Amino acid sequence: MPEGSYTDLSATALASGIRRGEISPERVMADHLARIERLNPGLNAVVALNPRAMDEARAAGRAVAEGRPLGPLHGIPVTIKDCLDVAGLPATRGSRIFADRIPDEDATAVRRLKAAGAIILGKTNAAEFGLWWETDTLVYGRTVNPWNPDRIAGGSSGGDAAAVAAGLAPLGIGSDLAGSIRVPAHFCGAAGLKATHGAISTHGHWPLHAPRYWHVGPIARHVEDLALAYGALAGFDPLDPYSLPPVLPRTGALPALGALRIGLVVDGGSSPVAPEIRTAVSEAATALRALGCRVEEARIPTLTDQNWNELAKILMGIEGSMIVGRAVRGREGELHPFIRQRLQVRDVPLTDYIDALEISEAFRREMAGFFLDHDLLLMPVCATTAFEHGATELTIDGQVTEPRHALRAAVPWDISGHPALAVPFALDREGMPVGVQLVGRKMQEDLLFLAGTALEAAAPVRGQSPSLGARPLAAGAVS
């Protein structure tokens, strides 16, 4: 193949070619390292490289030549969000307070990737403690969107989303508390999975305040790659108290695509929503109907009648301000100004906290009923496309909102624990990516992958990628 072309292939295609001996893991790694060298100074997505990456790629090549057993991700370069531990690599958590931290052990997700044959390419930039919708830190600087450097890559897994979308890696591992996998994927034109809560271990991720809502998961350019990664990552982990026990495999074949019953909430219960977002969701519904799916508008009162951002502030915010605040006590001056503000303790009456718990429980019950009659839910990932760095307010469909409003359609599924998939679907009038979101029954990620793959194939954005020409340098550099 032509020089550099391995960065254009999916993780699935690379893994298949490596297993057949048609693709050299060493060449795959060399191509991705060369692309990082060329493009990362402008993106600032990868913040630390694995110094043994090429040695490990050579070893992967020898394993193929010797006919040794190969894992499903054998020889595939993978980037890891800076909130997850990789033994021997920096794990700053996006904070100056942990700038010198190098862990001795891998997070469970990293250990499972390695067991599947993946090679850790490096660490990616992440918002401090995973607590911001923009990836801009005092340790590594700002990550920019590969489609437009004036726009955010999203947070908190913005480094992984930007790296994957720009072809610096075929696969990245991020984490999601309030949309932090799906929203950056949507902003950067990638696919992202927040699996069922407990399906993928969070052991070795920090912070773990509100552990009932944190998720670890993959970001890729293709839905099939998310399925490949999920197969390697999912499974019971005794080190994670929220880890789910092994689930019996589905009996019989997957249902036919045309048999799927899909509910539709065009605005995701998060009005105001940019018109181009609503249009993309409606067109995605049309595409699924054309494939034979039954798609009908759904009424889910607990989803649409609540401000899930406000509930998240109560359920997650006060816990974060207390637990993370204790961990950084006395060093608050070293925090990013936005994170200092986020960690200010808010007095929340106990009645408000109990009310928020009651609403979240009512939502879980309502979704259990919804999924008796539906296989999936289709809705927006986000209320708008990627916006400018440092924005303090947004105008969406003529209404002025705070930037946090953009996350509102993503947040409920962190609270409920349902699996949710962001699929790249369209471009807006300014050429920025628009994703759509599929939500499924718990532990039925296979239906998400079935519908998501079909939707991806029908998407107007299919085959398009960011134009990565000359661009201003982002603050920070790979170490």
Say what the pLDDT of residue 478 is: 46
452's enclosing H/E stretch is helix 445-458
On whether residue 472 sits in a domain, the answer given is: no
Say what the pLDDT of residue 322 is: 83
On whether residue 469 sits in a domain, the answer given is: no
As beta bridge partners, residue 379 has 437
On whether residue 230 sits in a domain, the answer given is: yes
On whether residue 249 sits in a domain, the answer given is: no
Q: 118 near 142, Cβ under 8 Å? A: no
SS3 255: coil
Q: By residue range, what is the domain housing residue 223? A: 5-237+256-458
| Predicted confidence (pLDDT) at residue 126 exceeds the cutoff of 80 | yes
Handedness of CA 398, 399, 403, 404 (dihedral sign): negative
SS3 134: coil
Residue 95 main-chain phi, psi, to 5 deg:
-125, 140
pLDDT in tens, 136-154: 999 999 999 999 999 999 9
Count of domains in the chain?
A: 1
On whether residue 246 sits in a domain, the answer given is: no
As beta bridge partners, residue 215 has 176
420-427 and 433-440 strand pairing: antiparallel
On whether residue 243 sits in a domain, the answer given is: no
By C-alpha distance, which of 392, 96, 426, 136 is closest to 145? 136
Q: At 448, which CATH number?
A: 3.90.1300.10
By C-alpha distance, which of 83, 43, 329 is closest to 217? 83
| Predicted confidence (pLDDT) at residue 85 exceeds the cutoff of 90 | yes
159's enclosing H/E stretch is helix 158-165
175's enclosing H/E stretch is strand 171-176
CA 432 to chain centroid, in Å, comes to 18
142's enclosing H/E stretch is strand 141-142
Q: 78 near 46, Cβ under 8 Å? A: no
Say what the pLDDT of residue 319 is: 83
- Taking the CB of residue 283, how many other CB atoms lie within 10 A of it? 17
pLDDT in tens, 194-216: 999 999 999 999 998 889 999 99
On whether residue 117 sits in a domain, the answer given is: yes
Q: 266 near 379, Cβ under 8 Å? A: yes
On whether residue 473 sits in a domain, the answer given is: no
Active site positions, annotated: 81, 156, 180
Most confident option among 220-224, 243-247, 317-321: 220-224
